[in-house]
Amino acid sequence: MRQDKFSMQFPTVVSLLSICLLLLFIFSFQIGSYPIEPRVVLDVLYSRIVAGGGYWDTTVEKIIMDIRIPRIILGILVGGSLAVSGVSYQTLFKNPMVSPDILGVSAGAGFGAALAMLNSGTWTEIQFGALFFGLLAVGLAYIISKFSGTSDITTFVLAGVIVSNLFNALVSVVKTYADTDSQLPSITFWLMGSLGKGDNADVMRMAPTVFVCMIILFIFRNYIDVLSTGDEEASAMGINVNIIRTIVVLCSTLMTVISVSICGTIGWVGLVIPHIARMFVGAKYSRLLSTSFLMGGLFLLFMDNIVRGVSSVQLPLGVLTSLVGTPVFAVLLIRSKRGKENA
């Protein structure tokens, strides 16, 4: 009964989250070593639309357009993508403990980025390496599961664990050969996650991918809902289980790997946010899809604002999300356990 009660509030929850995200978007320009008032931001954006000049310094316009806006938008896109990937995997695998890196995406991307840094690669080469090896990791997990002779979803997950451990070991090998003065610190910092290097080009690469994947998942949302009840039930209703499962894995993997390739490893977002979303809109995937995206974007943007505003030496974003996500998840786990005992 409680779940249905919360589910009826779905339009209200989405509206409130959208308003909060918009307010945080505006407020985020005032965080950092160069605070910018919302009025100036709006005037600069308006001048870009109507191609007019303004009263502000060119430095202010450059900070807004080339630094703040890309970083803020990437925070929303990455947070939303990881949260949606998490809730999609959890629904597909029928396991609330599943996170977006369950199939080895993060480990593979980490190795690709580390390998590029070891060879003194450019930022674009680092991103490409992370993207390529992240996709390769999922491909290897799929091949291993197929060679096992079964198409069981548990086997797929176990294959992902194998691939994750393999690439984590390879990252350690790369660290061993990395120069301790320049390459090793760069590899370590990248693996801990950051939005600091994101630019407009990254936004233009990520936004279309996230948009297309979200549209596809939205189109098949009701089928995914049915799939969450069990493969036999879904097949009995005429749903092609393998196709829907492939769609979920591909879309979730693409959103995760492009997020990791741009921002490094940022944990706990895809694990914790779906649980919080379920508290407000229930377990129905069609409602969790948009709610998780908004909550994930709101959460990661808020965390990044803390990173930018607390000190001159920025704490890695992935470290902060872990520090916050761990106790939050522990509280959710305890509440869930007590709720089952009192039911």
| Alpha carbons 162 and 108: distance in angstroms, whole number | 12
- Residue 313 has a pLDDT of 67
CA-CA distances (angstroms) from residue 217 to 73, 214, 246, 289? 21, 5, 11, 8
Q: What percent of the chain has pLDDT over 70?
A: 92
Structure tokens at 276: 């919080």
Cα dihedral sign for 103, 179, 118, 321?
Answer: positive
- Residue 5 has a pLDDT of 45
- DSSP letter assigned to residue 193: -
pLDDT at residue 108 is higher than 80: yes
Structure tokens at 76: 């929303």
Predicted confidence band of residue 58 (pLDDT cuts 50, 70, 90): confident
Find the farthest-apart pair of alpha carbons in the chain and give their distance in angstroms, rounded: 68
Predicted confidence band of residue 343 (pLDDT cuts 50, 70, 90): low
Predicted confidence band of residue 49 (pLDDT cuts 50, 70, 90): confident
Residue 321 contacts residue 329 (beta carbons within 8 Å): no
| Alpha carbons 7 and 327: distance in angstroms, whole number | 26
Alpha helices of the chain — where are they, by DSSP H? 2-7, 10-27, 38-50, 58-62, 69-93, 105-118, 123-147, 153-177, 183-191, 200-219, 221-227, 231-236, 241-263, 269-281, 285-310, 317-342
pLDDT at residue 275 is higher than 60: yes
pLDDT at residue 8 is higher than 60: no
* Mean pLDDT score of the chain: 88
| Alpha carbons 255 and 235: distance in angstroms, whole number | 27
- Global confidence as pTM: 0.92
| Alpha carbons 118 and 343: distance in angstroms, whole number | 55
Cα dihedral sign for 191, 196, 200, 204?
Answer: positive
Degrees (nearest 5) of the Cα angle 162, 85, 301?
Answer: 120
pLDDT at residue 110 is higher than 50: yes
pLDDT, average across residues 261-275: 91
Q: What are phi and psi of 70, to 5 degrees?
A: -60, -40
| Alpha carbons 267 and 280: distance in angstroms, whole number | 22
pLDDT at residue 104 is higher than 50: yes
Q: What percent of the chain has pLDDT over 90?
A: 57
Exposure string over 234-268, b if 16+ CB within 10 A, otherwise e: beeeebebeebbebbbebbbbbbbbbbbbbbbbbb
312 or 38, which is more confident: 38
Q: Tell me the angle at which helices 269-281 and 285-310 cross, rounded to the nearest 10 degrees.
A: 130
Alpha helices of 178-199 — where are they, by DSSP H? 183-191
Exposure string over 17-30, b if 16+ CB within 10 A, otherwise e: beeebeebbeebbe
CATH of range 2-342; options 3.60.40.10, 1.10.3470.10, 1.10.443.10, 1.10.287.3510: 1.10.3470.10
The owner of tokens 């959890």 is 90
pLDDT at residue 4 is higher than 60: no
Nearest by Cα to 308 from 62, 143, 71: 71
Highest mean pLDDT among 37-41, 75-79, 236-240, 318-322: 75-79
- Residue 150 has a pLDDT of 66
pLDDT at residue 1 is higher than 60: no
What are the tens digits of pLDDT across the range 214-260? 999 999 999 999 988 887 888 888 889 889 999 999 999 999 999 99
- Residue 229 has a pLDDT of 82
